[in-house]
Amino acid sequence: MGVTIHDAELLIQFRNPDTKEKAFTAIIKKYQEKLYWHVRRMVVEHEDANDVLQNVFIRVWNGLENFREDSQLYTWLYRIATNECLSFLDQQKRKSALPLDESESGLSNKVVADKHFDANKLEWKLQLAIQQLPEKQRIVFNLRYYDEMPYEEMSKVLETSEGALKASYHHAVKKIEDYILNR
């Protein structure tokens, strides 16, 4: 990402009680949009994304003191956001009456329910195709396609080997292609 030095400075400021809030505000400003869209693509609705994002930053606030700098802040934030998304989706599945394997259709329904949804637009069809993917493949596709995250970084976020991530991305793209061509 090329911002590691800046993150290191922010972390030093965060550990100083006088500049803690200022540093945290800077961290939020820096990463809020990236994390918001990462979360939004996973949970679809803005209200849900907002809830999850707030939880993410509360966790960051509570854990940043003990953050070990052997990994990048950027990677650590994405990992927290991803875990929060998965926890949220898990809760949604448990709450909904839908069986676990049909939970993707619940997300598709949310996509269709968006006030800007237009079935004729390819961007929306792509979103529907993404929602058909299994969770892991969806995360890998989003991180690679939208966030342009290198596999090396992604392997740190998801704690998965680069080879497995490449395979996941390959499968995801093929499934999306199939969905777009055949539906």
Partner 1 sequence: MRPSNEILNELEQLSMVVAGISRQLPYEAPEGYFPDFPGKMLALLEQDALAKAPSPDWGKGPAMSVPDGYFEGFASRMMDKIRAQAGQPEARQEAKKTAAAGGDPDGEATGEFSPLLSRIGKNMPYQVPEGYFETSIPSTVLMGLKDKTAYEVPVGYFETLAEIVIARIQPAEVVQAPGKLISMNSSRKTAWWKYAAAAVVTGLLLTFGWQRWQTHSKDQPVAVVDVTRDLTKVSDQDIENYVDDHTSQIQQVQQEEDYANSTASLDISDTDVKSLLGDVPDGDLAQYMVEHGDLKDYPTN
Stretch touching partner 1 by CB under 8 A, among 1-9, 67-75, 121-129, 157-165:
121-129
Cα–Cα distance measured from residue 97 to residue 80, given in angstroms and rounded to the nearest whole number: 27
Annotate each residue in 2-31 with x if it binds partner 1 (CB under 8 A) or - if it does not, as one string. -------------------x--xx--xx--
Can you read off the two tokens belonging to residue 35?
A: 């994390």
User: Which of 98, 112, 126, 164 forms a contact with partner 1 (CB under 8 A)?
Assistant: 126
Contact 103, 89 (CB under 8 A): yes
Taking CB under 8 A as the rule, does residue 146 contact partner 1?
yes
Taking CB under 8 A as the rule, does residue 177 contact partner 1?
yes
Taking CB under 8 A as the rule, does residue 145 contact partner 1?
yes
Q: Shortest Cβ distance from residue 54 to partner 1 (Å)?
A: 6
Decide: residue 60, CB within 10 A, 0-12 exposed, 13-18 middle, 19+ buried. Answer: buried
User: Which of 1, 3, 58, 100 forms a contact with partner 1 (CB under 8 A)?
Assistant: 58
Contact 111, 118 (CB under 8 A): no
Taking CB under 8 A as the rule, does residue 87 contact partner 1?
no
Neighbours of 49 (CB within 10 A): 21
